[in-house]
Structure 1
Amino acid sequence: MIHRSFLLQWILVVIFTVTIIYLKMKLNFLEDHYKVLHNAITQEQNNVQTGNEVSEHSYKSAFDDLIIIYNRVPKTASTSFVGLVYDLCKHNKYHVLHINVSNNMHTLTLPNQIQFANNITVWNAKKPAFYHGHVAFLNFEKFGVRQTPLYINILRKPLDRFVSYYYFLRYGDNFRPHLIRKKHGDTKTFDECIDAGQPDCDPDNMWLQIPFLCGHDPACWEIGNSWALEEAKRNLQKHYLLVGVTEELTEFIEILQIVLPRFFKGAYNSFLHNNKSHLRQTTQKINPRPETIDKIQKSVVWKMENELYNFALTHFHAVKKRLINASPQDVNQRFMYEKIRPK
């Protein structure tokens, strides 16, 4: 009888001890959980005040859904830039897609505009995505899609681009040196072409950078249309994240690395140190005579194209000043949210 009583007491002591241990473990867990929760809430409040994303997951989701469109203008160093984009895509985990419009057309029909806008915005398997092609600007807002892409572009001094394209059609480039171009065998220099008044060096052929930024409206492609020039400027201001210039391509890449590291992390050093910074160079090119330049610069189209180029250059320099050549005030700039209600 005494033995049974002792056994019962021993069992009760064990149960009590185990219960105490369990309660202590539970209390410690709750304290740790409270600390984690408290720290998370505090961090979340700080993130909201400073404008950061609430969590790493939501931060990644926002940028993993990103779409960039580079509607590249021919002969502006676009091949060199796109080569860099392809080099980075695997490491930075994004997709690159070339927009190839049949018959080398720069505009889409209205049904294709709608299909294109809807297609790339819902093609989640290819996001984040970088699209590039020789296609005019397309305003996604008018199609009612939920997501609008970020546009970027590069412009070049119009006469330099025009002369480069003239010789490119005759001699090709070092990118595909064995490809025969459509003017192959024509050894006439640009100066001789201007003197002879031939159509393929007509200054009206410079009308390209304006319509590329202007868009799909038929008026954009009317040579010398003043509305098209103003529309190109408006689009540059309103719809383009960044428009750089060929003459400052390195700085363009440096700014993109700062602004969009999700795509361009490591781009600056890669561009400086690889052998693709001048991926496509025209095989033979002769600079025009001063009198030829003077004749070209008297044309209406050159004046309008040059106006757009200088407009873009001014904007680009303003961005560069505050990022690359930033003042201490700009470098240390922060923003936060305050007086958030309800609490």
Structure 2
Amino acid sequence: MVRGRKWYWKKLEDCVLKEDPECEFREGSEDFISAIPFLCGQHDYCIKHGNSWALQKAKFNAEYEYSVIGLVEHWNTTLAVLEHFLPSFFQGVQQRYWDAEFKDQRTVNKNPKKYKPVSETVRKILKDKMALEYELYEFLKQRLHQQFESIADLLKLPTTKIHSRSTEKAALSSWDRMDIELRH
């Protein structure tokens, strides 16, 4: 489907209030873009919006099929958990991510469009229509923080610094930044 400039610049507020098809989220409609179908699997019920069976299957799969499911909102926690549970792939990821050498690359994907925050009315409509997605998100957030708590004592131990190509040092260590994030 080719979408024009008008669709691309459409505001979420307008889309939800006008009940455009992509913002309608009708019970039982096919949903290929949210987290529940992604984590639920290939069963026909998995792609039906508002299906509580799909939510339970997504939670089950998240718990038993995925070592870690990170959240961008809790990026430092995600990096710490990834580094601990999947060291073959993520050893030193926090140090590398916060290294001055990669400073410019951390902001590459910022959205150039500037929008006002959505109204409380739209926020409530979306929260009602996407209640199961919110429930899955809260489940995944709780799971990530439980994983982090299980390794919190290990994070206090001294670690070996991975060689960095950069000679500059960040003002705060990755552990300090993570500690600050977790307190807020």
TM over 0.5: yes
Q: Check if 1:326 corresponds to 2:149.
A: no
The one of 92, 100, 107 equivalent to 1:266 is 92
Q: Check if 1:227 corresponds to 2:56.
A: no
Query: 1:182: which partner in 2?
Result: 3
Whether the aligned pair in 2 keeps the contact of 1:206 and 1:305 (CA below 8 Å) is no
1:327 Cα deviation from its structure 2 partner: 7.5
Query: 1:176: which partner in 2?
Result: none
1:207 Cα deviation from its structure 2 partner: 5.9
After TM superposition, the structure 1 = structure 2 runs for residues 30-109 of structure 1, keeping only pairs within 5 Å, are none
After TM superposition, the structure 1 = structure 2 runs for residues 92-241 of structure 1, keeping only pairs within 5 Å, are 182-186=3-7, 187-204=9-26, 208-241=34-67
> Once the two structures are superposed, what CA deviation does each residue of 1:239-292 show, in whole Å capped at 9, x if it has no partner?
111112110122212222222222212211111231333332222142211111
1:210 Cα deviation from its structure 2 partner: 0.3
Q: Which amino acid aligns with 2:35?
A: Q
Q: Check if 1:284 corresponds to 2:113.
A: yes
SS of the residue corresponding to residue 37 of structure 2 reads helix
Distance of aligned partners of 1:206 and 1:314 in 2 relative to their CA distance in 1, 3 Å threshold: farther
Distance of aligned partners of 1:183 and 1:252 in 2 relative to their CA distance in 1, 3 Å threshold: farther
SS of the residue corresponding to residue 69 of structure 2 reads strand
Q: Check if 1:295 corresponds to 2:116.
A: no
Whether the aligned pair in 1 keeps the contact of 2:39 and 2:58 (CA below 8 Å) is yes
Q: Check if 1:308 corresponds to 2:136.
A: yes
Which region of structure 1 is more displaced relative to structure 2, 305-314 or 255-264? 255-264
> Once the two structures are superposed, what CA deviation does each residue of 1:201-236 show, in whole Å capped at 9, x if it has no partner?
223568610010001111111121111110001111
Whether the aligned pair in 2 keeps the contact of 1:207 and 1:305 (CA below 8 Å) is no
> Once the two structures are superposed, what CA deviation does each residue of 1:170-219 show, in whole Å capped at 9, x if it has no partner?
xxxxxxxxxxx834234432212222221122235686100100011111
Between Structure 1 and Structure 2, how many residues are aligned?
148
Whether the aligned pair in 1 keeps the contact of 2:68 and 2:85 (CA below 8 Å) is no
RMSD over aligned CA atoms reads: 2.6
Distance of aligned partners of 1:266 and 1:224 in 2 relative to their CA distance in 1, 3 Å threshold: same
Q: Which has the larger radius of gyration?
A: 1
Normalising by structure 2, report the TM-score. Answer: 0.70
Q: Which amino acid aligns with 2:85?
A: V
Query: 1:135: which partner in 2?
Result: none
- Flag structure 1 segments of 5+ consecutive residues without an equivalent: 1-102, 104-180, 332-343
Normalising by structure 1, report the TM-score. Answer: 0.39
Distance of aligned partners of 1:214 and 1:206 in 2 relative to their CA distance in 1, 3 Å threshold: closer
Which region of structure 1 is more displaced relative to structure 2, 304-313 or 261-270? 261-270
SS of the residue corresponding to residue 216 of structure 1 reads coil
How far, CA to CA, are the matches of 2:114 and 2:107 in structure 1? 15
Whether the aligned pair in 1 keeps the contact of 2:37 and 2:54 (CA below 8 Å) is yes
How far, CA to CA, are the matches of 1:282 and 1:183 in structure 2? 19
How far, CA to CA, are the matches of 1:293 and 1:268 in structure 2? 33
What is the percentage of aligned positions where both structures have the same residue? 24
Distance of aligned partners of 1:227 and 1:285 in 2 relative to their CA distance in 1, 3 Å threshold: farther
How far, CA to CA, are the matches of 1:210 and 1:190 in structure 2? 21
1:312 Cα deviation from its structure 2 partner: 0.8
Query: 1:118: which partner in 2?
Result: none
Distance of aligned partners of 1:219 and 1:206 in 2 relative to their CA distance in 1, 3 Å threshold: closer
